Amino acid sequence: MSSGSSSSVTNGLHPHPDVSDHINHVSHLNGFADPSPHNQKIIDYLYNYGFQRGEYADTVLHVHQNVYRLHAIILSRSPFLVQLLSTSPQVQVGVPRTIYVPVEREPEVTQEGFAIAVGYLYSSVSLRLIRPENARAVLAAGCMLGGMDDLCELAYATCKRSISVDTIGAWLEFVDAIPPSSSGAETPGPDLSPIRIYGPYVQRLRDDVFHFLVVTLPNILEIHATPSEGTPTTPENGREVLLQVFSRIPFDMFKAAVESPNFQIGSDQTRFKFAKEAIEARRRGIARGLEETVVLAFGGGNFGTSAVHVTRKTRKRPLWKVNS
C-alpha cells in the first residue's frame, strides 16, 4: 500500500473527501473544529465516565495516597506524564500500565491541586473547581504537568486576587522560600527549591506580593499623605497593622519596599520613622541575631534615589579578654 493511501486512514476510517473539506473549513472558525453541541457531549462523557469513573482505563496512576484509573491517550496531553508513560512500559498486553508520579519533593502539589489539574486533561470543567484556597496548589500541579496554559493562567489570576490583609502572612512565607537569585526560569530538580516548580509564575507572584505591600495595603489601611503637609492621615489601628505586616517581611523585600518611591505613606521623615519602628519589631522576631538599621539622607546627594536607606549585617559577638 502506498504512503498516500495509508495516510488517509485514521483508526480504520476512510473519510469522505467532502467530510475532510468540511473539517478543514470549520477548523478556522474561532479555533473550534465543530461549533455544534456534539463535541461538548463527547467532552462531558470523557470527563464523567473516563476521569471520574475510570471506565475502560488502560493506565493506573499513583500519586500521593491516591490511585487513578485513566487513559494514556488523554494523559499524553501532558509532557510530564507522557515521559512517565514512555519509561513505564506495559508489562502484559491487556493489563493496564502502571505509573507513579513522584511528588515527594514537590510539597506545593497537593492531592486536591493534582486532581484538578489531571482532570483538566479531560475537560475544562476543572476550571470551575479553582478557588482561592486551592489555586496555588493547582498552579503548582499545572506547571509540573505542563501543556495546560489556560489552567495555569486562571489559577495564577485567582492567586493574585487572593492576596489580602488576611492572607498576606501565608504569602510572605511563600516569598521567603524563594531563593534570592531565582529568576523563575529554572526547571525543578532535586537540588532546587520546591518553589521553583512554578516556573515563570514565581517572579510574577513575588511581584504581586510586593505591589500589595507597597501600594495596595497602604491604600486599604487608608495610609496616605495630605497634599499640603506631607504628613500621614490614617486610623491608628491601620498603622499598627502595617507595622505588624512589615515586621514579618523577608529583608530583601522589606528594604525594597521601604526604599520604593511607590511606598507613599508620607514624607521621607515619616517613612524613616515607620522603618525605624518596624526594625525594632523585627529585632524581636524575624531579624533576631541580625543588625538592621535605617538612615535618612539629607542634601542633594540622593537626587533620583530614596532618601531612606535600610542596611543589614550580622551582629558581632562581643570579644572577651582573658586575663592570665
Close Cβ partners of 47 (under 8 Å, ≥ 6 residues apart): 119, 122, 123, 125
Q: CB-based contacts of 314: which residues, under 8 Å, 6+ apart?
A: 289, 290, 291
List, in sequence order, the alpha helices (H) in the chain. 3-7, 17-26, 38-45, 72-75, 79-86, 111-120, 135-145, 149-162, 168-176, 201-211, 217-220, 236-246, 251-259, 268-283
Task: Give CA–CA dist 61/50, Å, rounded.
Answer: 13
Q: What was the pLDDT predicted at 15?
A: 47
Say if CB 275 and CB 294 are below 8 A apart. Answer: yes
CATH of domain 38-162: 3.30.710.10
pLDDT tens series, the chain, 324 aa: 444 444 444 434 444 444 444 434 444 454 555 557 888 999 999 999 999 999 999 999 999 999 999 999 999 999 999 999 999 877 777 789 999 999 988 999 999 999 999 999 999 999 999 999 999 999 999 999 999 999 999 999 999 999 999 999 999 999 998 876 544 444 444 445 678 899 999 999 999 999 999 999 999 998 865 544 444 444 568 999 999 999 999 999 999 999 999 999 999 999 999 999 999 999 888 877 789 999 998 754 444 467 899 998 876 655 555 565
Question: Under 8 Å CB-to-CB from 214, ≥6 apart: which residues?
Answer: 257, 260, 262, 263
Site of grid cell 526604599: 259
Domain positions in the chain are 38-162, 202-314
